[in-house]
Amino acid sequence: MIQPAGSMRILTLSFEYPPLGGGGAKVVDGLARQLAKLGHEIDISTMGFRGLPKFETANGVNVYRHASIRKRMDICHMHEMVPHLLSALPRLKRMVAERKYEINHTHFIFPDGVLAWMLNRLTGLPYVITAHVSDVPGYNPDRFQAHHALLSPLAPYREAFRMRHLPERSFAEPHRENRQHGPINGHSKRHVRGSIQS
């Protein structure tokens, strides 16, 4: 398929995508739809769930679902996320080789940030991580503390822990610069292959 001039072929990793998940999934869906309307080609990689097709195209977005052991649509636990890494990685390697993506925009530090890092190491595909609220270590002291501590040695988490100590101005300046290019989620922080922006 020939892409329109100026368009990009973008891979998006998000273990939660409607009808799975909550607010974060809706953010991913909204961004994907708007990018598709602008002429970009968007492939979403997400978790499968009983009754959902392994592949579909909806609202101009290609959705690839990988086998999972997820039990509920509204919530996903750590022990359900780890198998997702193993299930998705081989298929994603093939997709990168066949689809020739220009960038991987990943949502959530875990499991997808780790998956993006692994994919980068194996294929060289550059990635950006948008971390959503409690996904950021230290953002919410009542949730995921054991989760963050266990995963802290992994590359995406090392960067996330580092950025907690940056001054607020580090996040405000890129946000102001990007206003001319369209809205950016104010509650998210983005990891751009070694740096994080809001």
Whether 71 is covered by a domain: the verdict is: yes
Residue 44: predicted pLDDT: 98
Whether 4 is covered by a domain: the verdict is: no
Q: Please tell me the distance from the alpha carbon of residue 46 to that of residue 112, in angstroms, as a whole number.
A: 9
Domain CATH code at residue 108: 3.40.50
Residue 153: predicted pLDDT: 61
Q: What are phi and psi of 24, to 5 degrees?
A: -60, -40
Residue 198: predicted pLDDT: 33
Q: Please tell me the distance from the alpha carbon of residue 45 to that of residue 106, in angstroms, as a whole number.
A: 9
Whether 113 is covered by a domain: the verdict is: yes
Overall size of the chain counted in residues: 198
Computed over every residue of the chain, the mean pLDDT equals 77
More confidently predicted of 28 and 111? 28
Q: Which of 62-66, 77-81, 107-111, 174-178 shows the lowest per-residue confidence on average (mean pLDDT)?
A: 174-178
What are the tens digits of pLDDT across the range 110-155?
A: 889 889 989 999 999 999 988 876 666 665 566 556 665 666 666 5
Residue 176: predicted pLDDT: 38
What are the tens digits of pLDDT across the range 35-70?
A: 999 999 999 999 999 999 999 999 999 999 999 999
Question: Across residues 28-35, what is the average pLDDT?
Answer: 96
Predicted TM-score (pTM) of the model is: 0.73
More confidently predicted of 31 and 178? 31
Whether 39 is covered by a domain: the verdict is: yes
Residue 15: predicted pLDDT: 95
Does residue 26 register a pLDDT over 50? yes
Whether 3 is covered by a domain: the verdict is: no
Task: Specify the number of domains making up the chain.
Answer: 1
- To the nearest 10 degrees (0 to 180), the angle between helices 155-163 and 114-123 is 120
Whether 101 is covered by a domain: the verdict is: yes
Containing structural domain, residue 92: 9-197
With beta carbons less than 8 A apart as the criterion, state whether 81 and 68 touch. Answer: no
Residue 106: predicted pLDDT: 94
What are the tens digits of pLDDT across the range 179-197?
A: 333 333 333 444 444 333 3
DSSP output for the chain: -PPPTT--EEEEE-S--TTSSSHHHHHHHHHHHHHHHTT-EEEEEEE--TTS-SEEEETTEEEEEE------SS---HHHHHHHHHHHHHHHHHHHHHH--SEEEEESIIIIIHHHHHHHHHH---EEEEEEGGGSTTT-TTSSHHHHHHHTTSHHHHHHHHHTTS-THHHHHHHHHHGGG----TTEEEEESS-EE-
Does residue 93 register a pLDDT over 50? yes
Question: Across residues 163-168, what is the average pLDDT?
Answer: 41
Strands 55-58 and 41-47: unpaired
Whether 127 is covered by a domain: the verdict is: yes
The pair of three-digit structure tokens given for residue 98, joined into one six-digit string: 């066949």
Whether 2 is covered by a domain: the verdict is: no
Does residue 13 register a pLDDT over 60? yes
